[in-house]
Amino acid sequence: MINFDLTNRVAIVTGGAQGFGLAITERFIKSGAKVVIWDIDENEAKKAKEKISSNNLSYQIVDVSNYKIINKNLLETEKKNGKIDIFINNAGMAGMNKAVSKYPIEEWNKVINLNLNSVFYCCKAIVPHMIKNNYGRIVNIASIAGKEGNPNASAYSTSKAGVIGLTKSLGKELADKNIAVNCVTPAAAKTRIFDQMTEEHINYMLSKIPRNRFAKVNELASLVTWLSSEENSFSTAAVFDLSGGRATY
């Protein structure tokens, strides 16, 4: 395993208590960072803290769909640590597996709000802190579904396509500063998000992956750690595929 150096860096990982977020948190801690998990589930946050058992790990219970709460917790984190170097937008949900004509409007709004609006809110809030310090690494966790669109997953696919567009816009806005903004588009991984999907949809996703397996959370964590490091000094406004060969562009 390559050791990327995140020594003395302060990172926030949304949805960091489980799945992709927990794997990223673990890798960041091993790389020397101080990590603050933002999660809505306090029980899972406590479990993550117990599992990793590091003085460099803490958590805050944050609703990332609420801009005021985001700002409040950012100020608390900065006051405690003096800065915020890295921000990972990972929190998200799959939503229902239904055709567009049958997709409930309430469910659509719920998915878009958590998967896309929250990323905008967090980026809007964190950017001034990073500009002030002239340093930052933002990584948004999108999905291969955002590039290719999955049938019966219109809200999820649309939200992740929006994250890709937001990443490209923000990365270009900050390109003249020492702030990198990138996103990763993984294929599906066997995390608790599968609990929100039908077996038919899970099998469909697997059938589209040439490597004939799902992604592993540690594979995503490795890529995100490099993107979050000082070593990534040039790539910004970019999309990094982690799709097992599924991506066609």
Residues 6+ apart with CB under 8 A from 70: 62, 64, 121, 122, 125
* Residue 204 falls in the annotated catalytic set: no
* Strand arrangement of the beta sheet that strand 34-39 belongs to: 57-61, 34-39, 10-14, 86-89, 136-141, 179-186, 238-242
> Residues 6 or more apart from 60 whose CB is under 8 A from it?
36, 37, 38, 73, 76, 77
CA-to-CA dists, residue 100 to 146, 151, 198, angstroms: 16, 9, 16
User: What is d(CA 142, CA 61) in angstroms, rounded to the nearest whole number?
Assistant: 22
Q: Of the listed 59, 121, 135, 156, which one is catalytic?
A: 156
Between 154-173 and 118-133, two packed helices, what is the crossing angle to 10 degrees?
20
Tell me, rounded to whole angstroms, the distance of Cα 152 from its chain centroid.
23
DSSP annotation of 113: I
Report in angstroms the alpha-carbon separations of 86 from 26, 36, 170. Answer: 15, 10, 15
So which residues are the catalytic ones?
156
